[in-house]
Amino acid sequence: MVMLQVVPVPAFADNYLWLVHDEESGETAVVDPGDAAPVIAEAERRGWTIGQVWNTHWHPDHTGGNLAVKEATGATISGPASDRIPGRDVALGEGDTVRLGKHVGRVIAVPGHTLDHIALIFDEDGIAFVGDTLFAMGCGRLFEGTPQQMFDSLRRLSALPDDTRLYCAHEYTLSNARFAAHAEPGNSAIADRLDRVEEMRRKGAITVPTTLAEERATNPFVRSADWQEFARLRAAKDSFRS
């Protein structure tokens, strides 16, 4: 089975909208289309037709383009079982699946950033779409959930294989890396990664996807021993100025 092709589409100041294409079936999905125009344009440029929209959570920078994508392409919209997902056709929750050709993604609940946040795990492809739960060297703010919930959600994601590629929704890596260096000043892996990220951003390169192995080594939130430590780190990051 040919691996899924995943293409980043930048939007707004720092969002990534992900086009996901299966070459064998010709099917294409888009993950978290906060803005319809750039994903439609990129799909058309590649000769792809968007047939599905997958939302990880309800925030407008992830769902704002849903209706326009649906109007332009007739795509089916799948997302959390919430009335806050514009145009949703299929409700997704723990244990459900999404499909693109022969590729199957399982849905897991990862509350914390929002209460209804989900992640899509394509085990055979070794990829996961994690929305705003887990970022490269960081994690999402707790707008609705508790530290315990987010800690548990990160633990679920960190149980994936080391080489799993994590597709998050924002280019926050540099600010996250600076906080990580502050939180763990003796961690040489963090220091080395900060140097690499600074160079990548100077060149205008994107810093995602990341891998579970990288996050286990350099992400203070993933490395937290318990939810209390996580809560202290999250509060410190909320007030951190790099």
Catalytic residue among 22, 32, 125, 132: 132
DSSP track, 184-227? -TT-HHHHHHHHHHHHHHHTT-----EEHHHHHHH-TTTT-SSH
What's the confidence (pLDDT) of residue 177? 98
Residue 162 annotated as lining a ligand binding site: no
Please indicate whether residue 21 is annotated as part of the active site: no
Catalytic residue among 21, 35, 62, 117: 62
What's the confidence (pLDDT) of residue 241? 87
Residues of the chain with confidence (pLDDT) below 50: none
Catalytic residue among 32, 61, 116, 125: 61
73-129, pLDDT tens digit by residue? 999 999 999 899 999 999 999 999 999 999 999 999 999 999 999 999 999 999 999
Residue 57 annotated as lining a ligand binding site: yes
Please indicate whether residue 132 is annotated as part of the active site: yes
pTM above 0.85, yes or no: yes
What's the confidence (pLDDT) of residue 213? 98
Residue 113 annotated as lining a ligand binding site: yes
What's the confidence (pLDDT) of residue 60? 98
What's the confidence (pLDDT) of residue 123? 98
What's the confidence (pLDDT) of residue 169? 97
CA separation for the pair 172, 126 (Å, rounded): 22
For the chain, give the percent of residues with pLDDT over 70: 100
Catalytic residue among 21, 22, 32, 113: 113
Catalytic residue among 21, 22, 57, 117: 57
What's the confidence (pLDDT) of residue 31? 98
Please indicate whether residue 57 is annotated as part of the active site: yes
CA separation for the pair 81, 94 (Å, rounded): 10
What's the confidence (pLDDT) of residue 1? 78
What's the confidence (pLDDT) of residue 67? 98
Residue 61 annotated as lining a ligand binding site: yes
Asked whether 9 and 18 are in contact (CB, 8 A), the reply is: yes
Handedness of CA 78, 157, 136, 105 (dihedral sign): negative
Please indicate whether residue 117 is annotated as part of the active site: no
Catalytic residue among 21, 59, 103, 117: 59
Residue 170 annotated as lining a ligand binding site: yes
What's the confidence (pLDDT) of residue 162? 98
What's the confidence (pLDDT) of residue 39? 98
Please indicate whether residue 59 is annotated as part of the active site: yes
What's the confidence (pLDDT) of residue 95? 96
DSSP track, 125-180? TTEEEEETTEETTEE---SSS-HHHHHHHHHHHHTS-TT-EEEESB--HHHHHHHH
